[in-house]
Structure 1
Amino acid sequence: MRKVTLGFAFLFVAACGPSYGGQGVKTPEEIVAEQEQMGAEQEAQEKDYQGSAEETDLEKKAKFDKKQTELELKRAERSGETCPGVVTEEGPTGTAHVTLLFANDGHVKDASIAAPFEGTQVGNCVLNAMKAVIVPRFTGPEETVEWEVHVEAKADDSADDKKKK
């Protein structure tokens, strides 16, 4: 029993232990001084902070999306390559160089096509297909995109379809 009592007494003394200070109630002046010190440290850290070089998600979304533009132009290119009823063996064929100017709302503001397609039915058809492209809205200056469309005359499949029937 004596050992148990000594054990409890030892634990009581160890638990209460010596005071390490700072456990008293702070005066308002001490609280204000502590807050001012923390504020000064924070200002010093902010001066040293260079900022993140990475863009936020909102900044990335607001920029011109080149990947989405490429996807949309490829879709329009497939439409402009054949231009049903317009692309013939007599008309110009080959690579058409198209220049598109995108406004901030994502629509094509201006489009042009280089010679020999300029002013031809084939050129107008390709331009109509490319002008229909709409990309996501973006901030910043208007974007100019150069694109190539390979225009080839296809064999008339309608004659073959009539023979099969």
Structure 2
Amino acid sequence: MKKEDLFIISMFVIIFLLPLIPTLIYVGYKLIIIPLLPSMQMQQVFRILICGIPISLIIAYGYITRDKITSTLSGVFLFPLFTIYSWILLALTDHYFTIEQLIGYLRMQLIPPTNATFMLINGLTGYFASRGTKASLLVAILFGILFSLFVLDID
């Protein structure tokens, strides 16, 4: 394979498959953990895992590869794709799932203000991580912490 082909494949994986990690954690939490261990502490731990793992991967990818486009796009599309993927997986576990529900949900989720805020914060995280300096890495980590704090307060 050529280097350009590997770059395109890694770009696809980072942007579109990275949101599957928090999605699988979230769906597992909703379907398995909540019925067995309903507690506020577990909910906070899973929220930290849901936002911490992909943000740290975006920061690491951006800092190592210095790829501004992929890092920024993976940050921008992380939260919207996470919400869409998790809704689809949770809807598929419902016995009354219909395609009309999916179409209505996708229309509703185009870009609400919450998604726009998260898209901006995560996009800036990926951008600053890919700049390659230690100061911009620190800014990216601070944006990641800011995203985590926003997610912890949402209920």
Q: TM-score scaled to structure 1, two decimals?
A: 0.26
- The structure with the largest alpha-carbon Rg is 1
Which of the pair has the greater relative contact order for Cα pairs under 8 Å at 6+ separation? 2
